[in-house]
Amino acid sequence: MFRYFKYVFFRKPLLEEKDIMKKFLIVGLGNIGNEYVETRHNIGFKILDALADKEDFSFETRKLGDIATFKLKGRSVLCLKPSTYMNRSGKALKYWMDKEKIALENVLVITDDINLEFGTLRLKTKGSDGGHNGLKDIQNVLQSNKYNRFRFGVGADFGKGKQVDYVLGEWGETEKTAVKERLEKSTELIKSFVLAGAAITMNQFNGT
């Protein structure tokens, strides 16, 4: 009898840990409001919308953001578009990560990056905020820079002191056409991250 209860006592946490590792949180950064929909800073929202179209799921407004869940080969994927505005992105990320008991290594943050040429995709597992206010807040909330981030290059075609206007500006006409193709590639990167992990995904997609 003692051996039986000992077996049950140790086995249950292992099952729970296994279940946790099958849950993922994908956070697309952006600002809420119609005036921001087509801006460069909202590429995180745009990529998640493209993923929703591809995987046939829809978002609903919940606490601190729009939320959607879909299944991918046995994995449960929670997608979040924070409603806290860019500068408070960490609050929404931490709330849903804790609520759903999702391991930090299974969190992926999608953001724009002026330090990459337009359309360049890059996944990193750690690093600085690069001056990005959304990443800066996430780092402050998590008290760590060791989290996965998917950077989408928006280029730096702006003059001195015009960075804010540029990232909050809308895509140019030539960019709009090119973005559609990059969105397809971006959804594949996300699925690869969930199914194959960060290391394999970086080798396959970084710089493409």
Which residues are CB-contacts of 72 (< 8 A; sequence separation ≥ 6)? 55, 191, 194, 195
Q: Are 105 and 149 in contact (CB under 8 A)?
A: no
User: Catalytic amino acids?
Assistant: 41
Report strand pairing: 148-153 vs 107-113.
Answer: parallel
Q: Which residue has the tokens 């699925």?
A: 191
Binding residues for tRNA: 36, 85, 87, 133
Residues 6 or more apart whose CB falls under 8 angstroms from that of 5 comprise none
What is the SS3 assignment for 142-194?
A: HCCCCCEEEEEECCCCCCCCCHHHHHCCECCHHHHHHHHHHHHHHHHHHHHHH
- Distance (Å, rounded) from C-alpha 190 to C-alpha 186? 6
Q: How far apart are CA 127 and CA 123, in angstroms?
A: 11
- Residue list, annotated binding site: 36, 85, 87, 133
E strands along the chain, which residues?
23-28, 60-62, 65-72, 75-82, 107-113, 121-124, 148-153
